[in-house]
Amino acid sequence: MIDPACKEHTLSTSDHAFNPPLVDYVADSLYQLPGIEAVALGGSRAQGTHHAESDWDIAVYYRDDFDPQSIRNLGWPGRISELGAWSPIFNGGGKLTVDGQTIDVHYRDLHLIDRIHEDACRGEYSVERLLFHQAGLPSYILLAELGINVTLRGSLPHWEYPQMLRRRAPGVWREWADLTLDYAQEGHARHGRTAQCAGLLSEGACYAAHAILAHRGEWVTNEKQLLTKAGLRWVDEVVAGLGRDPQGLMRATVDMRERLADLMVAEGIPAGRRNSDSEESVGEGSRVQVVRNVRAAGVIDCHRDGQVPDDVTRLLATVPEWFGIPEANAEYVAAAATMETWTVRDDTGRVVGVTLVDRHFPHVAEIHLTVVDRSRHGTGIGTAMLRAVESDARATGVRLLEVKTLGASHSDAGYARTRHFYRKFGFLPLEETDLWGDASPCLIMVKPLD
């Protein structure tokens, strides 16, 4: 059931006084590009907390056929990444100079945001590793941005903090804080390893801050103000006062743990390994069950596996809009019993993604099927499988990688995203054929590996 607190409305620039001509020019230029549905001002300037040297953060929200090359074609000096170059959540952007002003551009995928919102309303989210982020990047940060950004062109949803996320996320974040601080104490402080101890104290404080803000239902968009918003700025003093003496490190670590525990009690955030919302375990080591999309390690392990036809049957059933023809599904399941198989499994060993590979010739390999459990869409599993298959293909002398998908002459939003996915990884449309019949045009896409 969708959380009634998750509502939608459109922000307008008339609600915000700060909108100089340069931003109008940039917003107009970006909004007219193919695939762009909205342009928003983000960061401190959207919140009114900026100073003269603050960055100008501009987000472009797109669906389907957006191509970063269209931004390059505007002729502004700078560098723009391909889609997916940064991470599955923060999936790209760059730094440009417009009329002498530096502008940071960020890509935001509205299809991904829709899925993240649906997950959040069930109390589910993912966390991925990202450079410069100590606690990792929670997927719902994209919803937080919508909560504070100023929409300059187009319209965007603006959701309240989902109640199920408020109920479930704090216990998980607190669990991670407790485990991290425990290791800071026993793994490093006790042995006088100041650098590692300080790093884990800071990381644990970030987890604790996420717990506090999630419990309050307060959006946060990055870690710059994370500790400040949560009232944990005092951690600076703890870290600054660390010495090299093991006893001193132990005292500082224990004091910090006790102080954070008192704050958690004051906030009403549950302790221990049980979430107050249910009897499900919220964490055992790095495993999270209540929030089943969390990837604590941030690394998706895709490897060649044995045949898993039963898992293919299950996964196909989760995405009927892509795989809704029983006869075709039966053929995929039959192929899964014999073809080269690559899988991604969750922490429990359950298969959540499968790619089947057909080796036509020593120098040609076809991606026969890729399917990912719907609940894991947008978490980077498809990307991990494609990269693993391509890496293996290169290592084994394959010179051409092929994939077949539904052609653009048959209008389908889901398969438009599929084509876009392969294009951003370098696949080129080769030919649209009637291999699957007139009603299902088959687009052959290829990627040279030389």
- What is the reported pLDDT for 134? 92
Mean pLDDT value across residues 250-272: 89
Residue 307 neighbours by CB under 8 Å, 6+ apart: 336, 337, 338, 339, 341
3-state secondary structure at position 273: coil
Q: What percent of the chain has pLDDT over 90?
A: 58
Q: How far apart are the first and last CA of the chain?
A: 49
Contact (Cβ atoms closer than 8 angstroms) between residue 28 and residue 166: no
- What is the reported pLDDT for 52? 67
The answer to whether residue 286 scores a pLDDT higher than 60 is no
346-383 burial, b for 16+ CB within 10 Å, e for fewer? bbeeebbbbbbbeeeeeebbbbbbbbbbbbbbbbbbbb
The answer to whether residue 258 scores a pLDDT higher than 70 is yes
Beta strands across the sheet bearing 400-406: 302-305, 340-345, 351-361, 364-372, 400-406, 442-448, 428-433
- What is the reported pLDDT for 163? 95
- What is the reported pLDDT for 297? 36
Q: Which amino acid is at 95?
A: K
pLDDT in tens, 199-239: 999 999 999 999 999 999 999 998 989 999 999 999 999 99
pLDDT in tens, 311-361: 999 999 999 988 988 999 999 999 999 999 999 998 778 899 999 999 999
Q: What percent of the chain has pLDDT over 70?
A: 88
Mean pLDDT value across residues 163-176: 93
Domains and CATH numbers, the chain: 20-154 (3.30.460.10), 163-267 (no CATH), 302-448 (3.40.630.30)
- What is the reported pLDDT for 349? 84
- What is the reported pLDDT for 64? 78
The answer to whether residue 280 scores a pLDDT higher than 80 is no
